[in-house]
Amino acid sequence: MAVPLVEITLAGAIINASVHFVPVGGAPAAMATSTGIGTGTTQLAAGAGFTGLMAAAIMAAQKGIVLSNPIHLAIILLSGAVGSMIMLALTMLLGQLIYVFGVGVVPAADKCEKDPITGDYQKSYITPGTTGHAIPTVCFISGLIGAALGGIGGGLAYIALKQLGFASEVAGIIAVGFFFMNAVLASYNIGGTIEGFHDPKFKKMPNGIIASFIASLLTGVIVVGMSIGI
Amino acid sequence: MSHGGGGHAAELYPENQVILFGAILAIVGMYISQFLPHVSMLIGGLLAVGATVAGANTTRRVAAYGLGTGVPSIGMVSLGLGVISTLAGVLLAGVAISQFNLPNELLYGIPIIVAVVSIVLGFIVGKLTVNPIGMKIPIMVESMTKLSLMGALSILGFCAAYAGGFYPDVIIGGAVKNGIIGLAFIAAGMAILHPFNACLGPNESHKRTLLLAIACGFITWFIFSIVKLDILSSVVSILLWGIVYREFVNQSLKDACCVLYTPEIPKKDM
């Protein structure tokens, strides 16, 4: 009982942290007038998180996988992380193609002078009146880290629910609800848009993690209570 | 995104009245689904629409402050909390009976247990959005509580209508194992978040948003009727949807006139 409770609490905190890494641009980014992917946090987190959840669930359903074996757990979590990363990487890549070749803007980050990874100057490429364009390297890498964490968090929640003895369908739908709850708490903490780990808003992350920690602990207690009869 | 600082349009009905009405309708619908399973989709599905309409009305009220993250976020959190509380209520009742030797009649109280769990969960998550996170919306806590309740009632309402009851074995076997709860999650979610998301902006009116909310609720009911292959409910729901949606389009055209006929701009500078 205690191990799944700890796992589900940690999973909530990890999901919350993951959302802070994803470069969410919101509506301005959809018009290529802001850095990031052009949709809301909830949709992005849901897209990447669900793919991770499914990848983890498929791995957990493979023959010979035992949930009590730590190495097998690590494989399930990695599977979730990779599934989630592929999903978000494709989203960012295709978005980038549309931004660069369709809209015709240069990828540029607004929140840093120089790209911390490539060292390229950013400010001179930003159109006046906008806050950056598309998905520069630093945002892409940040997004990949976020997706990996999201997949791990989703997978961990699913594993915890399976360890409590729920059927796969029940565990899956509770994990979906749990994922949305934590992703939206993170998105309220961000306040709409974020560029990645170089954004000043990233420093607000502890608040979000504390909120998710408490909410997940409460959910964990309810879920453990539900599992007593199984 | 936000309402654009447009403030609040006048309310046709007070919010609490709509919430009370929606909650009572949805709970009555669940009991009808339980005791009269042969009309569960026809009447239970219709009454579950009350919960989605009340949820859409609360979404309108809270999202008008400008959430900064888009209207869908609060709709999805309401359904996320709703699905957890629905399953919690259904399974906790079974646990209480098997572990603490409580009478079997406790199962009749499942809708009430679901409502209580969702109110507690929504209240605490609402508090968390205000305290460590720092949302500056004054009605955030009460709105999260109401939305969590409406999310739970709409999910349980549609699932009970589909499965023909809310007993744990009925609902787990008839609506969770086959994935219908996933449909309830997203279809009811759309019915809660879409109306205000579509109608927001200057000149938003309560009547138009409510009409769209009712239309969205009916189309959700229609989807469930189709999935259940219930011909009578399908016909009734699509007819009702047609009537309400036609009214919504008329109302939109009427309201659009108010925007279009602006006073003429003077041709010369005086």
Query: Searching chain B, which residue's CA lies closest to the CA of residue A24?
Result: B69
Backbone φ and ψ of A33, nearest 5°: -110, 20
B6, part of any domain: no
Rg of chain A, C-alpha, whole Å: 18
pLDDT bin (cut points 50, 70, 90) of residue A65 is confident
Is residue B1 in a domain?
no
Return the top range by mean pLDDT from A104-113, A130-139, A194-203, B233-242: B233-242
pLDDT of A1 higher than 80: no
The interface pTM score, or ipTM, of the predicted complex is 0.89
The string of DSSP letters for B63-106 reads HTT--SS-HHHHHHHHHHHHHHHHHHHHHHHHHHHHHH---GGG
Nearest to A48 by CA among A173, A182, A159, A148: A148
> What length is written for chain B?
270
> A179: distance to nearest CA of chain B, Å?
8
Average pLDDT taken over every residue of chain B? 89
pLDDT band at B264 (very low <50, low <70, confident <90, very high): confident
pLDDT band at B84 (very low <50, low <70, confident <90, very high): very high
Tell me, what's the pLDDT at B10?
A: 75
Whether B42 is covered by a domain: the verdict is yes
Q: What is the pLDDT of residues B39-68, one digit of tens each?
A: 999 999 999 999 999 999 999 999 988 887
Three-state DSSP at B155 gives helix
- Write out the residues of chain A at the interface with chain B, using a CB-CB cutoff of 8 A: 26-27, 40-43, 46, 167, 169-170, 173-174, 176-181, 184-185, 187-192, 207-208, 210-211, 214-215, 218-219, 222-223, 225-229
Which DSSP letter does residue A199 get? S
Amino acid B3: pLDDT: 42
Tell me the residue ranges of DSSP E strands in chain B: none
Q: Which amino acid is at A139?
A: C
Does B39 map to a domain? yes
**For residue B11, pLDDT beyond 90:** no
| Shortest Cα distance, chain B CAs vs residue A118, angstroms | 30
C-alpha to C-alpha distance for A224 and A230, rounded to whole angstroms: 10
* Domain boundary assignment for chain A: 2-19+52-217
What proportion of chain B, given as a percentage, has pLDDT over 70?
Answer: 93
pLDDT greater than 80 at residue B263? no
Question: Structural domain of residue B183, as residue ranges?
Answer: 15-258
What DSSP string runs through B11-40?
PSS-HHHHHHHHHHHHHHHHHHHHH-GGGI
Is B268 within a domain?
Answer: no
* Number of domains chain B is built from: 1
- β-sheet bridge partners, residue B23: none
- B137 inside 8 A of chain A by CB: no
Identify the pLDDT of residue B260. 57
Upper half-sphere CA count for residue A9 (Cβ side, 13 Å): 15
Biggest alpha carbon–alpha carbon distance for chain B: 87
Query: Residue B14 burial by CB count (10 A; 0-12/13-18/19+): exposed, middle or buried?
Result: exposed
Helix intervals (H) in chain A: 2-21, 26-30, 41-60, 70-97, 137-163, 168-190, 205-226
Q: Give the angle subtended at the CA of B112 by the CAs of B108 and B113, to the nearest 5°.
A: 90
> Which of A13, A8, A47, A5 lies closest to A182 in space, CA to CA?
A13
Mean pLDDT of B228-232: 93
Model confidence pLDDT, tens digit, residues A74-116: 999 999 999 999 999 999 999 999 999 999 999 999 888 888 8
Contact predicate B168/B47, CB 8 Å? no
Check B79 against A210: CB less than 8 A apart.
Answer: no
Residue B228 in any domain: the answer is yes
Any CB–CB contact under 8 A between B63 and chain A? no
Kindly state the percentage of chain B with pLDDT values over 90. Answer: 69
Average pLDDT over residues B228-246: 95
| Per-residue tokens: B151 | 């999310």
Structure confidence at residue B6 (pLDDT):
45
- Across chain A, mean pLDDT equals 90
Residue B9 lies inside a defined structural domain of this protein: no
H or E, element range at B13: none
The H or E element spanning position B61 is helix B45-63
> Among the listed ranges A2-16, A21-35, A141-155, B35-49, which one has the minimum average pLDDT value?
A21-35
Task: Examine residue B5 and state whether it is found in any structural domain, yes or no.
Answer: no
Q: Which pLDDT band, with edges at 50, 70 and 90, does B5 fall under?
A: very low
Q: Output the pLDDT for position B258.
A: 59
Q: 3-state DSSP call for residue B240? A: helix
pLDDT for residue B4: 42
Residue of A164, A180, A190, A216 to mutate for B, most B C-beta atoms under 10 A: A180
Average pLDDT over residues A186-202: 88
**Contacts of residue B192 in chain A, CB cutoff 8 Å?**
none
pLDDT digits 0-9 by tens, B104-162? 888 999 999 999 999 999 999 999 999 888 888 889 999 999 999 999 999 999 999 99
